[in-house]
Structure 1
Amino acid sequence: MTDSLAQPIRVLHLNAGACGGAALGAVGLHESLLDLGVTSTFLYGNGPRECTISSAERMIQSQILSAGIEKVLPRFETGLVRILSGRRGLPFSLGQVGNPLFQRRALLQNSDIIHLHWVNGSMLSLRQIAAFNKPVVWTLRDEWPYTGGCHYAGECQKFEMKCGQCPMLNSHRSYDLSTFIQRQKTRLPEDIRYVGISDWITQRAKRSSLLRTATVTTILNAINPSFFESDGSTERGELRRRLQLPEKATILLAGALDLDSPFKGYEILQHIKPDARRDLHLLTFGSISDDLKDSISIPATHLGPVLQQMELKEVYRAADLFLAPSHQESFGKTLAEAAACGLPTVCYDVGGPAEIVIHEQTGFKAEPFNTDQVIAYCMQLVDDVGLRTRMGHDARRQSVRFKPARAAKEYLQLYREVLNR
């Protein structure tokens, strides 16, 4: 049903790509806003649209960014970070390099609100964001908007005061790259409205020196639970045969974009030991290093990256339980998807995942970061089919909390507040 708008609102969503958790959350919001009658446009910089399940209109890949420059600019930025830190693959962005022609796009000029999602990877620079001259809503898909450059601060709390001597950059200087970036962010417009996708990241943002006086609200992230529901057309046995999984084993699922990320906590997999009393099989999706594979001693199947949402849905439905031992995560899209597929989940009682799992109802939340307790909870679910079934049913029922229509209505109200101030 179309929401009756007092006046047409033209929203331009900006995200660096069409793949990954941030993109899927942003696209789901875009689709639901279209259903409400909002003139919503989703502009992304790189990556195939096929990564999403969207068939929505107004999904546009920037021709400027897809002409090859999107390959050069991120390499320049990551190369500079590597030179300054002496380390590769850091979850750290400068925000200094953006496409030089982006500001001229007519879409930008003809929009009432610019809605930023994950805009790193040299899609936009801080200077470009400061020069929008439009109302801006910025969804906190990670911690970068309020830190000195890191996407997750880990145990470092310098973002609450003054960055410098950045542990991620291996810096011992009181004024370093993180200090410079933090100071640049103080020049962003004070009236940007920030939205946390969980209470955890909202509270972290409010403690930061950059957003302490800003307006930060929570609108829970969204997935499409009905997409992940079983239509009954394919039984679990058939799904397991397709994936070449043992049909009678208990399948423990673990997955992320990068299982080797220190924030995901999947080094715990090496501590799960074979037990002759249990027919346990590990199934993983996402990139995984040979070192992590070799450290796992239980039988395992590694699917690698699964970009198609339809394929990922089948992976969830072939499993019996989900393990998500993240140390720091703004929401936990995979946990919400697993719940929608009827899987009980084991996680740590920290971050966004702790707001998704209801302890002893839809899964278990272990003390941070008690590895033995996580494994014990997993084995409890492995050993008790009835418990898995009950928790799985409750997880599916609770997943309605993540419907995109709910988030879209909350964002629509926020847009109206921003335009009426």
Structure 2
Amino acid sequence: MNILHVNASDIIGGAARAAYRIHRSLVEHGSALQLKSQMRVISQVSDDPSVIGGPPAGQSALWRRLQPRLAQQARRGFRTGNPTMHSIAWPATGLGSELQARHRQGQIDLLHLHWLGDSTLSIEEIGRLPMPLVWTLHDQWAFCGAEHYTSPPLPGERASSDERFAAGYSPASRPGHESGPDLNRRTWLRKRRAWRRPSRAPIHIICPSTWLAHCARRSDLMADWPITVIPNPIDLIVWSPCDQAQARALLGLPPDRPLVLFGAVGGTADPRKGADLLLEALRRLCTQVAGTPLEPLELVVFGQSRPLQPPALGFPIHYTGRIADDISLRLLYAAADVMVVPSRQEAFGQTASEAHACGTPVVAFATGGLVDIVDDRITGALADPFDPLSLAAAIRWVLEDPQLRLQLGTAARQRAERLWDPARVAGLYGEAYQESLGRPSHVSA
């Protein structure tokens, strides 16, 4: 069976890294399942020969310049208080025609979609694809409007109250923080017209977490589609424990201080990642641990360089900047005593799974995909969403007892081996592919 994965990029960004890991798990373990995997991306960074990069075949240089300008024009006047990325996936890029040609030539038996954005496939191109489709969701965009995540939870909320994806994007459901053209409703209506025609079978949806699958099943667009939960894989050789003292020495971090690690693309800039909640928790923790062995606590932040005005927490903050290689990131996980992932919304939580694979306990809020990663009080701790005081208590619980921390780290590694082993995940995808091929094939318009 020839599988072609489609993603905007191969290794730039969390979704791209997850999609690439799924592809590589099939490259390395798919032969036993009679699967051959390739990946088609617009922006290729790796030199992996199984990845096909570049603009769509036949796309002119003129259209390459014009397409994003037309997309920008279509957004004119739209205003929203939701800080997440918005993608309208219009107009057509031309990749749909290339994929149809590959299918006619026998190069594709099944197409596996991932994170697409505006530059990969338009909504209408997806609707015209004739081959069986599997789609791994890396955020909420596929069943939402243009937004990749619903509005983040407001203060005092345990989850987002933005439920337009469940209500069908009626005009009455539009939130007060939006104005101008209802871009999300327009985008959602285009998805419904393109993807729910009687002539085509539903797309088989794969979600990396129980939370994301629950959202998809409650959505008006995908409620009756096949939805399967398959976690993202992780290379257990690349991501494995190493000596903490050596890791700190190599990174220039203090050898004898409790270290709390936080990281995300953009560091503290993305409100969805909850850096503000972590900083408030650490301010509270700083007061609580005064005069205890945890008083010399320090914070390490990756994904961001030192700002001109770092927050005043009462203890040092080490900024590592953007980490471009897995070895440096593995050393950071090993150097830390605890990894904190205080996200308000997270489809899976890849930094948490990476930390676990490296034998590092994780503290997070009991929300989103992180509930599937952290086994509360076994591999780390889950705090009440989105309570900085509860988060501070969870961090302190992990740090106070060195022996407990070692036990949590050992259990974290064992959990990674049990759940996210690439061979296991490849087998689960093989089952999903067989199920998809067993249903009636898609019919193009």
Q: TM-score, normalised by structure 2?
A: 0.83
Correspondence for 1:46 among 43, 67, 71: 43
Query: Which residue number corresponds to residue 208 of structure 1?
Result: 219
Are positions 1:365 and 2:382 aligned together? yes
Query: Which residue number corresponds to residue 134 of structure 1?
Result: 131
Query: Which residue number corresponds to residue 183 of structure 1?
Result: 189
Query: Which residue number corresponds to residue 99 of structure 1?
Result: 93
Query: Which residue number corresponds to residue 368 of structure 2?
Result: 351
- Relative to 1, partners in 2 of residues 1:361 and 1:215: Cα closer, same or farther, differing over 3 Å? same
CA offsets, 1:146-173, max 9 Å, x none? Answer: 0011111132011101224776793257
Secondary structure of residue in 1 paired with 2:42: strand
Query: Which residue number corresponds to residue 54 of structure 2?
Result: 62
Correspondence for 2:271 among 262, 282, 288: 262
Q: CA deviation at 1:208?
A: 0.5
What is the rounded CA distance, in whole Å, between the counterparts of 2:213 and 2:144 in structure 1?
Answer: 13
**Structure 2, unaligned stretches of length 5 or more?**
153-159, 440-445
Correspondence for 2:436 among 402, 418, 421: 418
CA offsets, 1:282-325, max 9 Å, x none? Answer: 11111368388335443111112212122211111111110011
CA offsets, 1:211-269, max 9 Å, x none? Answer: 11111111122212232113x5xx43332233221111111000111332221111123
The letter for the 2-side match of 1:179 is: R
Are positions 1:321 and 2:338 aligned together? yes
Are positions 1:305 and 2:322 aligned together? yes
Correspondence for 2:247 among 233, 239, 242: 239
Secondary structure of residue in 2 paired with 1:185: helix
Q: How many residues align?
A: 404
Deviates more, 1:175-184 or 1:344-353: 175-184
The letter for the 2-side match of 1:62 is: G
Q: CA deviation at 1:67?
A: 9.2
* 1:106-185 equivalences in 2 (<5 Å): 106-109=101-104, 110-153=107-150, 154=152, 155=160, 156-163=162-169, 164=171, 170-172=177-179, 176-185=182-191
**Structure 1, unaligned stretches of length 5 or more?**
1-8
Deviates more, 1:322-331 or 1:409-418: 409-418
Does the 8 Å CA contact 2:207/2:228 hold for their aligned counterparts?
yes
Q: CA deviation at 1:383?
A: 2.2
The letter for the 2-side match of 1:29 is: I
Secondary structure of residue in 2 paired with 1:191: coil
Does the 8 Å CA contact 1:260/1:267 hold for their aligned counterparts?
no
What is the rounded CA distance, in whole Å, between the counterparts of 1:14 and 1:299 in structure 2?
Answer: 43
Q: CA deviation at 1:41?
A: 0.7
Higher relative contact order by CA 8 Å / sep ≥ 6: 1 or 2? 2
Does the 8 Å CA contact 1:165/1:171 hold for their aligned counterparts?
no
What is the rounded CA distance, in whole Å, between the counterparts of 1:344 and 1:389 in structure 2?
Answer: 8
Does the 8 Å CA contact 2:30/2:37 hold for their aligned counterparts?
no
Secondary structure of residue in 1 paired with 2:303: strand
Secondary structure of residue in 2 paired with 1:365: strand
Query: Which residue number corresponds to residue 157 of structure 2?
Result: none
Q: CA deviation at 1:144?
A: 0.3
Q: CA deviation at 1:363?
A: 0.7
- Relative to 1, partners in 2 of residues 1:86 and 1:381: Cα closer, same or farther, differing over 3 Å? closer
Q: CA deviation at 1:11?
A: 0.8
Does the 8 Å CA contact 2:7/2:40 hold for their aligned counterparts?
yes
Deviates more, 1:205-214 or 1:25-34: 25-34
What is the rounded CA distance, in whole Å, between the counterparts of 1:385 and 1:248 in structure 2?
Answer: 13
- Relative to 1, partners in 2 of residues 1:92 and 1:348: Cα closer, same or farther, differing over 3 Å? same
Does the 8 Å CA contact 1:225/1:337 hold for their aligned counterparts?
no
Does the 8 Å CA contact 1:82/1:88 hold for their aligned counterparts?
no
Query: Which residue number corresponds to residue 261 of structure 2?
Result: 253
The letter for the 1-side match of 2:40 is: L
What is the rounded CA distance, in whole Å, between the counterparts of 1:183 and 1:328 in structure 2?
Answer: 25
CA offsets, 1:28-83, max 9 Å, x none? Answer: 22222223221211111115227xxxx5x411212548997778755764675474
Does the 8 Å CA contact 2:366/2:385 hold for their aligned counterparts?
yes
- Relative to 1, partners in 2 of residues 1:270 and 1:73: Cα closer, same or farther, differing over 3 Å? farther
The letter for the 1-side match of 2:190 is: Q
- Relative to 1, partners in 2 of residues 1:85 and 1:409: Cα closer, same or farther, differing over 3 Å? same
Correspondence for 2:423 among 397, 405, 413: 405
What is the rounded CA distance, in whole Å, between the counterparts of 1:116 and 1:26 in structure 2?
Answer: 9
- Relative to 1, partners in 2 of residues 1:301 and 1:168: Cα closer, same or farther, differing over 3 Å? farther
The letter for the 1-side match of 2:131 is: K
Deviates more, 1:111-120 or 1:295-304: 295-304
Q: CA deviation at 1:190?
A: 4.2
Query: Which residue number corresponds to residue 338 of structure 1?
Result: 355
Secondary structure of residue in 2 paired with 1:393: helix
Are positions 1:12 and 2:1 aligned together? no
Q: CA deviation at 1:121?
A: 3.6
When the two chains are superposed, the root-mean-square deviation of aligned CA atoms in Å is 2.7
The letter for the 2-side match of 1:265 is: G
Does the 8 Å CA contact 2:30/2:36 hold for their aligned counterparts?
no
Does the 8 Å CA contact 1:98/1:125 hold for their aligned counterparts?
yes
What is the rounded CA distance, in whole Å, between the counterparts of 1:311 and 1:46 in structure 2?
Answer: 24
